Amino acid sequence: MDMDIAYWQQEDKKLLDRVMSSMGFGPSSLAKRLREMAGDRWETGSCLRAIQRAKRGETNMSPTLRMVLLGLDRDWRRAEQAAEKVEWEKRTGGILHTVAHGFGISLIPQTKNRWKVQIEHLESGYSPSWIEWLDNLETAKIRAFVQLDDTLLDLSWPGNPNIKSE
């Protein structure tokens, strides 16, 4: 096997493992997240097979998938820093709450130590669709900020302050 190919397969595998472990994703959860990001342009089954093959080191990752994973990795690290900087207020029922960028972020305890993330724009009341329950509090805090970034970049919701009126 060519040394360059082997090198990139190992680098791809490291990147994939880092993204999946930090985000708490299995291959199917990652494929679902990638499809959400790409819309209907990326078939979940094809994406899942590409992830599984790259994880086993059987193939080189496509440049597109590599770039998306690098972006996810950066987004995660940025969200991790944001989640560490805010003050989390403990409310009734064990709910943790904070405010960032005009959004209220609530982490709601569920059964089996899982957490539900709820985000709401304070001025308009807009709430993006909720992400799946998360298995630990630290991951829930970080995923809340990833969801917040996604919401701030989504220009389709009513009242988004990033939309400039003409």
HEC string of 41-102 equals: HCCHHHHHHHHHHHHCCCCCCCHHHHHHHHHHHHHHHHHHHHHHHCCCEECHHHCEEEEECC
Determine the pLDDT at residue 108: 93
What pLDDT does residue 160 have?
Answer: 67
Banded model confidence at residue 163, pLDDT cuts 50, 70, 90: low
Of residues 4 and 127, the one with the higher pLDDT is 127
Task: Compute CA distances 9 → 46, 59, 93, whole Å.
Answer: 18, 7, 47
* Residue 104 included in any domain: yes
Regarding whether 129 and 108 lie in a shared domain, the answer is: yes
Residue 36 forms part of a structural domain: yes
Q: What is the pLDDT at residue 132? A: 73
State the average pLDDT over residues 2-31.
82
pLDDT tops 70 at residue 41: no
Domain span including residue 11: 3-83
Number of domains in the chain: 2
On whether both 79 and 112 belong to a single domain, the answer is no
Instruction: Give residue 94's pLDDT.
Output: 94
Q: Average pLDDT of the chain?
A: 84
Over residues 46-96, the pLDDT tens digits come to 888 888 888 887 777 888 888 888 888 999 999 999 999 999 999 999 999
Q: Are 54 and 7 part of one and the same domain?
A: yes
Q: Does residue 69 sit in the same domain as residue 44?
A: yes
**Is a pLDDT exceeding 60 seen at residue 40?**
no
CA trace torsion 103, 106, 107, 109 (10° rounding): -160
